[in-house]
Structure 1
Amino acid sequence: METLPIKNWLFGLAGLLLMASCSSEDKETMEGTATVNVSLVDAPADYDEVWIEVLGVELLPGDEEEDGDGWVYIPYDEEDTHINLLSLVNGNEAYIGSEEISAGSISKLRLVLGDDNYLVINGEETPLTTPSAQQSGLKLQLDQELMAGIQYDLVIDFDAAKSIVKAGNSGQYILKPVLRVVAEQSASIEGKVLPVEAHPVIYGIINEDTVSTFADESGSFALRGLAEGDYTIIFDPTEEYEADTLYSVPTLDGEITVLDPVELETTADVEIEIETGN
Structure 2
Amino acid sequence: MVRRNLSKLALALTVVLMASCSEDDAMDNPDMGGDTNSTSIYITDAPVDQANVQAVFITVSDVMVNGESIEGFNTTTIELSSLTAGKTELLGQLNLDAGSTNDITLKLADTDAAGNAPGNYVMLDGNIKDELGGAMEIKLSDSAEIMSEMENELVLDFDLRKSIVQDGDDYSFVSESMLESNIRAVNTANAGMLSGTVDNSTEADAELVIAYVYPKGSFSDSEEEMNSEGVLFANAASSAVVSSEGDFEIHYLDEGDYELHFASYKDEDADGMLEFNSMIGAETSGALDLNGFTVDAETETEITISFTGLLGL
Q: Pick the TM interval, shorter chain.
A: 0.5 to 0.7
Q: Which residue of 2 aligns with 1:7?
A: none
CA 1:215/1:91 → structure 2, altered by over 3 Å: closer, same or farther?
Answer: farther
TM-score by length of 2: 0.58
Number of residue pairs aligned between Structure 1 and Structure 2: 223
Alignment partner of 1:243 out of 276, 280, 302: 280
Following superposition, the deviation at residue 266 of structure 1 comes to 8.7
Which residue type is aligned with residue 125 of structure 1? Answer: I
Alignment partner of 2:55 out of 49, 56, 67: 49
CA 1:141/1:162 → structure 2, altered by over 3 Å: closer, same or farther?
Answer: closer
Between the aligned partners of 1:126 and 1:48, the Cα distance in structure 2 is 10
Q: Which residue of 2 aligns with 1:230?
A: 257
Alignment partner of 2:173 out of 156, 175, 187: 175
Contact (CA 8 Å) 2:104, 2:143: kept in 1 or not? no
Deviations 1:175-232 (A, max 9, x none): 2444222222123312223468775321112215412012457643222233444322
Following superposition, the deviation at residue 103 of structure 1 comes to 4.0
Between the aligned partners of 1:224 and 1:91, the Cα distance in structure 2 is 5
CA 1:256/1:127 → structure 2, altered by over 3 Å: closer, same or farther?
Answer: same
Q: How large is the Cα RMSD of the aligned pairs?
A: 3.5
Following superposition, the deviation at residue 42 of structure 1 comes to 1.5
CA 1:36/1:196 → structure 2, altered by over 3 Å: closer, same or farther?
Answer: farther
CA 1:196/1:141 → structure 2, altered by over 3 Å: closer, same or farther?
Answer: same
CA 1:88/1:146 → structure 2, altered by over 3 Å: closer, same or farther?
Answer: closer
Q: Which residue of 1 aligns with 2:299?
A: 256
Between the aligned partners of 1:118 and 1:161, the Cα distance in structure 2 is 14
Between the aligned partners of 1:245 and 1:226, the Cα distance in structure 2 is 21
Between the aligned partners of 1:173 and 1:74, the Cα distance in structure 2 is 33
CA 1:219/1:95 → structure 2, altered by over 3 Å: closer, same or farther?
Answer: farther
Following superposition, the deviation at residue 107 of structure 1 comes to 0.8
CA 1:88/1:129 → structure 2, altered by over 3 Å: closer, same or farther?
Answer: closer
Instruction: Give aligned-pair identity as a percent.
Output: 26
- 1:101 matched to 2:106? The reply is no
Contact (CA 8 Å) 1:196, 1:217: kept in 2 or not? yes
Deviations 1:85-132 (A, max 9, x none): 222222122222222234455211111222211112223323324255
Instruction: After TM superposition, list the pairs within 5 Å mapping 1:102-117 onto structure 2.
Output: 102-103=97-98, 105-115=100-110, 116-117=119-120
Which residue type is aligned with residue 122 of structure 1? Answer: D
Contact (CA 8 Å) 2:122, 2:132: kept in 1 or not? no
Q: Which residue of 2 aligns with 1:40?
A: 43
Between the aligned partners of 1:187 and 1:49, the Cα distance in structure 2 is 27
Which residue type is aligned with residue 305 of structure 2? Answer: V
CA 1:77/1:107 → structure 2, altered by over 3 Å: closer, same or farther?
Answer: same
Contact (CA 8 Å) 1:75, 1:96: kept in 2 or not? no
Instruction: After TM superposition, list the pairs within 5 Å mapping 1:1-278 onto structure 2.
Output: 31-45=34-48, 46=50, 47-60=53-66, 70-73=67-70, 81-103=76-98, 105-115=100-110, 116-131=119-134, 134=136, 137-166=137-166, 172-176=170-174, 177=179, 178-184=182-188, 185-194=190-199, 200-206=209-215, 207=218, 209-210=235-236, 211-215=238-242, 219-237=246-264, 243-246=280-283, 247-264=290-307
Contact (CA 8 Å) 1:242, 1:264: kept in 2 or not? no
TM-score by length of 1: 0.65
Match of 2:81, SS? helix
